[in-house]
């Protein structure tokens, strides 16, 4: 099969570091953290005291009227905002003529959890008649893709991935394949999540996945010896993927080319990664092979890097398995040290960071590396951003259920 080339032509995000790509990226390069005190909930009720929350976000600023906004969960608000920004950035005009060739693939790890909790409380107190008629459409994870397609008028391939923390990367990888095989010209893709809710935080606290470090500045510390869990984050990251000839024909700005995608299962444990990151290693190898990339060509990896003890250690081991001695020559950083972990949105946001590292020739840092872990001995771009040319880069995402996903980008060359 003649595979079509696919490029990135638009970026959009809302994150704990800013409600657009520019402010988020600026804060990332400055090594600022988006983590702060947990305010959406009563922190006294949880061992986790910090979270990476959005600040001053208002969906009405993106053209969604208040009446319509009340029919959507917050994760859908985030997806809409990031998607509208990405499409605007791409200068893509969706018309009756091309709408059937423009698709949407946006995932969410847990969907409308906040709506579920609120409506269940209403049901318990007041009965089924008082439950919102929009309850089901508000909670199902595919509604981000559904609402975005409606707002954009995109009538092409429409889907949703739910693979826990691998969701965003799987979504982009799957959307890439849709275009590569010729089923669409453009795909709006990524992930959205609004997980800072009573039950979500309770569940992650109960399985001891969240950091109990009360210091917002220091709680998220991937690859550091004193890491003790991830920090919950929220937001959305969306990219516009486009078939190369289609992009060139309309004079689009090209950020990078997406060339490889790998997706594997651990078949090991519902929450713990497979020993030595075996599944993640296979996903990286698959992505390299898919893109025709030699291991020694890799310049930068945006790591999954959650700040949990096993994830960071095993991801490091997986990188060594895949890249051999070159593992010590490439750079790898975890931007979750600043954004927190956006669960199903993480891969979308981190794909944007990976592309921008390539565009701007700068490596985002991993902040809070103070006491190096002997098991984590690679170049994690500790604490400060670094100017460096990036020609080939990858982004990793690993999720509960043993889901592993990797995407590979190259600097675009005609």
Known catalytic residues?
165, 304, 341
* Strand, coil or helix: 339: helix
| Rounded (10°) CA dihedral 314, 317, 321, 327 | 130
CA torsion through residues 145, 105, 354, 256, sign: negative
Tokens of 228: 């003790």
Are residues 180 and 1 in contact, defined by beta-carbon separation less than 8 angstroms? no
Are residues 105 and 183 in contact, defined by beta-carbon separation less than 8 angstroms? no
Tallying the residues shown for the chain, one arrives at: 414
Helix 113-126 and helix 198-206, axial crossing angle in degrees, nearest 10: 110
CA-to-CA dists, residue 54 to 13, 19, 36, 39, 316, angstroms: 11, 8, 10, 11, 30
* Strand, coil or helix: 138: helix
Measured distance CA(217)–CA(231) in Å, rounded? 11
Measured distance CA(304)–CA(319) in Å, rounded? 11
Tokens of 265: 């299962």
Q: Which letter does DSSP use for residue 45 in this model? A: G
Q: E strands, 266-376, where?
A: 300-302, 331-333, 362-363
Q: Contacts for 246-249 with beta carbons within 8 Å, 24 or more apart?
A: 246/185, 246/186, 247/7, 247/9
Angle at 399 between CA 120 and CA 143, to 5 degrees: 45
Are residues 378 and 271 in contact, defined by beta-carbon separation less than 8 angstroms? no
């Amino acid at each position: 099969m003649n595979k079509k080339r696919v490029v990135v032509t638009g970026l959009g995000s809302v994150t704990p570091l800013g409600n657009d790509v520019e402010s988020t990226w600026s804060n990332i390069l400055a090594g600022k953290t988006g983590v702060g005190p947990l305010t959406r909930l009563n922190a006294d009720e949880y061992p986790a005291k910090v979270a990476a929350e959005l600040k001053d976000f208002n969906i009405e600023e993106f053209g969604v009227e208040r009446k319509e906004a009340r029919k959507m969960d917050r994760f859908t608000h985030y997806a809409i905002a990031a998607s509208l920004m990405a499409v605007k950035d791409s200068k893509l005009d969706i018309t009756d003529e091309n709408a059937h060739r423009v698709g949407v693939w946006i995932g969410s790890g847990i969907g409308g959890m906040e709506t579920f909790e609120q409506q269940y409380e209403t049901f318990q107190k007041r009965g089924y008649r008082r439950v919102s008629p929009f309850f089901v459409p508000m909670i199902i994870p595919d509604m981000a893709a559904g609402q975005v397609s409606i707002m954009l008028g995109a009538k092409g391939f429409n889907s949703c991935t739910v693979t826990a923390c691998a969701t965003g990367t799987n979504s982009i990888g799957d959307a890439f394949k849709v275009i590569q095989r010729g089923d669409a010209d453009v795909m709006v893709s990524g992930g959205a999540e609004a997980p800072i809710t009573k039950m979500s935080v309770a569940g992650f606290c109960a399985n001891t996945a969240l950091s109990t470090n009360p210091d917002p500045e220091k709680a998220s510390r991937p690859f550091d010896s004193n890491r003790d869990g991830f920090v919950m984050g929220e937001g959305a990251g969306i990219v516009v993927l486009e078939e190369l000839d289609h992009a060139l024909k309309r004079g689009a700005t090209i950020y990078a080319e997406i060339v490889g995608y790998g997706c594997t299962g651990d078949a090991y444990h519902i929450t713990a990664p497979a020993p030595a990151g075996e599944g993640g290693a296979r996903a990286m190898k698959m992505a390299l092979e898919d893109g025709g990339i030699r291991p020694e060509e890799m310049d930068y990896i945006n790591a999954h890097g959650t700040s949990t003890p096993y994830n960071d250690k095993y991801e490091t081991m997986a990188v060594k398995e895949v890249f051999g001695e070159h593992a010590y020559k490439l750079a790898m950083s975890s931007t979750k040290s600043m954004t927190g972990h956006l669960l199903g949105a993480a891969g979308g946001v981190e794909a944007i960071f990976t592309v921008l590292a390539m565009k701007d020739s700068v490596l985002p840092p991993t902040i809070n590396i103070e006491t190096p872990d002997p098991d984590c001995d690679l170049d994690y771009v500790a604490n400060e951003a670094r100017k460096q040319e990036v020609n080939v880069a990858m982004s990793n995402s690993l999720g509960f259920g043993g889901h592993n996903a990797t995407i590979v980008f190259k600097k675009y060359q005609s």
